Amino acid sequence: MLTRARKEEIVQDLTDRYQRASLILFAEYKGMKVDAITQFRDKLYENYGDRARFSVTKNTLVRLALANAGYKESEWMNTVSSTTAVLTIDDEDPVSALRIMIDFNKSNKILPIIKGGYLERGFFRGDQAIELSKLPSRNQLIAMVVGGFAAPITGLVYTLNGVLTKFLYALNAIKDKKAE
């Protein structure tokens, strides 16, 4: 039995984690075998190290921590019920963790079931998780933005180079004509 002091300590720890998290995912874990949970955790820790946490905590403590962290109760109230495990990611690229969960679901016969969550403090339902997992990673987005900025500049450089090249050809033609 947890003492009141220990529960308060857990709620404070969860509150801190939820405030820092770029991804909070609520999942139904009922029916998952311990081996499967361990495999999933290993895959997460392989990619995120200690910035990932997949834990089962009493729903009451999770609800208190979410409220303390500033998340709207109307969003998560129906999601944090029955057997809920919470995945938190404190990283710049939370979409990859969502992708890991979706891939794990496919290979593990649908478990754990994603109930919903928060991506960068924006709530999403479980049925939206697959679409969110298809988003490009942070590094891919940065590359796309840089490519978008570089394309017009590159085009300008080639255009100016073409103008200069034509000008030099014209000067060479004039020089050759005067040399005759």
Name 26's Cβ contacts closer than 8 Å, sequence gap at least 6.
Answer: 76, 79, 80, 84, 85, 86, 114, 115, 116, 117
Q: Is the pTM of this model over 0.85?
A: no
Q: Do 27 and 110 reside in the same domain of the chain?
A: yes
Residue 133 and residue 100: Cα distance in Å, rounded?
9
In tens, the pLDDT along 54-64 reads 888 888 999 99
Residue 95 and residue 107: Cα distance in Å, rounded?
19
16 has a pLDDT exceeding 90: yes
Share of the chain above pLDDT 90, in %: 17
| Lowest mean pLDDT across 55-59, 101-105, 119-123, 142-146 | 142-146
Confidence of residue 65 (pLDDT cuts 50, 70, 90): very high
Q: Do 62 and 144 reside in the same domain of the chain?
A: no
CATH of the domain at 85: 3.30.70.1730
Q: Do 129 and 154 reside in the same domain of the chain?
A: no
Q: Do 14 and 95 reside in the same domain of the chain?
A: yes
Name 65's Cβ contacts closer than 8 Å, sequence gap at least 6.
Answer: 11, 14, 15, 17, 18
Residue 112 and residue 131: Cα distance in Å, rounded?
17
Q: Do 16 and 98 reside in the same domain of the chain?
A: yes
Q: Do 76 and 152 reside in the same domain of the chain?
A: no
Domain limits for position 167: 136-180
Give residue for tokens 């895959």.
43
Q: Do 140 and 126 reside in the same domain of the chain?
A: no
Q: What pLDDT is stored for residue 110 in this prediction?
A: 57
Q: Do 36 and 119 reside in the same domain of the chain?
A: yes
Question: What DSSP state is assigned to residue 57?
Answer: -
Rg (CA), the chain: 27
Q: Do 46 and 122 reside in the same domain of the chain?
A: yes
